[in-house]
Amino acid sequence: RIMSIAVFFLAIGILLGSGWIGTTCLDEWQIGVLGLAGGFTLFQAGSGKISLDYFFNKNQFIQQENNWNSISIKKYRPYFVGFSFFILFVTLFTNQVFHGGVYGTLHNKSVKPKVEISNLKQYQNKVSFDVMRIEGADVYGSFLIQIDFHNHQNEIIESLDMQELSNLDKQQISNYYVSKVTPHKHSLVLPLGAKANLNFDISDKIHKVVLTDISGLQWEQTITNL
């Protein structure tokens, strides 16, 4: 039963942290809800004859299982039923939030990449910002093929194409996590969960930056300091 509690909280972490991931099916969501239901079921039922608990108890190494079984299940039945409905609610709620499977239009956050831009700043001739891919296919990167820097008149004052991005100096990329933003043959690749700080030398004052993915999707962010 102690292990069932560990399984339950591990499943909660998987479900809430990665329950939306799944390119072709509801991978992590299924793992999460199955862990919740399975952990709670094991907590109620206890261990069977092929468990270490049974072996230790049979050989009188421990006597805890009998103490638990001597408790009246009827006394705790309302709590078990109530928690079962709670798990049902979590299952339906997370499915709706992550996938829209209960009502409305189905959606899959793993189909299209989504890039988050933050901390855009310019100091003298140095422009820097953080970029992170927070959604999209877990086995496939987002391929940035263009970065445009605009002024206050919305004119492009600096543009980096796919060739320039594929040849970025390593000193211009500072990764935060194990999953890394890296230049590849024809683009700058952002794997799922990767976050990095990018910096560029630009003399003119900028107002915003626009990132373009190979799919045509664009993300933009206005500067946070003047």
CA separation for the pair 123, 210 (Å, rounded): 19
Cα radius of gyration rounded to whole Å, the chain: 26
Instruction: Please answer whether residues 21 and 138 qualify as being in contact, where contact means their C-beta atoms are separated by less than 8 angstroms.
Output: yes
Strands (DSSP E) found in the chain = 114-123, 126-135, 142-150, 156-160, 173-175, 182-183, 188-190, 195-201, 208-213, 218-222
| pLDDT in the model for residue 1 | 78
| pLDDT in the model for residue 159 | 93
Residue 48, Cβ neighbours under 10 Å: how many?
9
| pLDDT in the model for residue 49 | 77
Please return the burial class of 12, using the count of CB atoms within 10 Å of its CB with bins 0-12, 13-18 and 19+.
middle
Instruction: Please answer whether residues 152 and 207 qualify as being in contact, where contact means their C-beta atoms are separated by less than 8 angstroms.
Output: yes
| Domains of the chain: residue spans and CATH | 2-99 (no CATH), 114-222 (2.60.40.1930)
Per-residue pLDDT of the chain (226 residues; tens, 9 = 90+): 788 899 999 999 999 988 888 877 888 899 999 999 999 988 887 777 777 777 777 776 655 555 555 555 677 788 889 999 999 999 999 999 988 889 988 888 887 888 999 999 998 889 999 999 988 887 777 899 999 999 989 899 999 999 999 999 989 999 999 989 999 988 999 998 899 999 999 988 999 999 999 989 999 999 876 5
| pLDDT in the model for residue 133 | 92
| pLDDT in the model for residue 73 | 64
| pLDDT in the model for residue 200 | 94
| pLDDT in the model for residue 135 | 87
Start-to-end Cα distance in the chain = 58
Could you give the C-alpha distances from 14 to 28, 70, 168, in angstroms and in order?
7, 34, 35
**Which among 221, 224, 211, 225 has a CA at the least distance from the CA of 181?**
211
| pLDDT in the model for residue 72 | 57
pTM here is 0.70
| pLDDT in the model for residue 80 | 87
Ordered DSSP codes for 35-73:
HHHHHHHHHHH---TTSHHHHHHHTTS--HHHHHHTS-H
Instruction: Please answer whether residues 190 and 181 qualify as being in contact, where contact means their C-beta atoms are separated by less than 8 angstroms.
Output: yes
